[in-house]
Amino acid sequence: MNPNRNIFFYRGKKLPFYFFPLAILSVVLIVAVLAVFGLIIGVAVGVFIIIFSVLRLLSSIGKKKVRKTENNGTTIILEEGDYEVIEPGKDS
């Protein structure tokens, strides 16, 4: 082992005075830009949802299907196009 143990410390310059305000300002600007992008994306998603809901409402207006019921509406009678018969043991 070496008996001469020397420890060297790095003596760098102190940070300049304007570093901390500059860092705070840059963080505030980054957060502001992300907030604006988030607002734009939120508005776009909201408009898409509203348009999708209106189109779905308009497309379902003419397709109201009246089903036959029995026992005061507790039993629904299905038509032939409403179901599919799957026979057991048959592989498709």
Residues 38-65: tens digit of each pLDDT: 999 999 999 999 999 999 888 877 666 6
Residue 1 within any structural domain of the chain: no
> What pLDDT score does 41 carry?
97
With b for 16 or more beta-carbon neighbours within 10 A and e for fewer, the 5-32 pattern comes to eeeeeeeeeeeeeeeeeeeeeeeeeeee
Residue 62 within any structural domain of the chain: yes
Structural domain count, the chain:
1
Residue 7 within any structural domain of the chain: no
Residue 4 within any structural domain of the chain: no
Residue 52 within any structural domain of the chain: yes
Residue 67 within any structural domain of the chain: yes
Residue 20 within any structural domain of the chain: no
Range of the domain at 73: 39-77
Residue 46 within any structural domain of the chain: yes
- Per cent of the chain over pLDDT 90 is 35
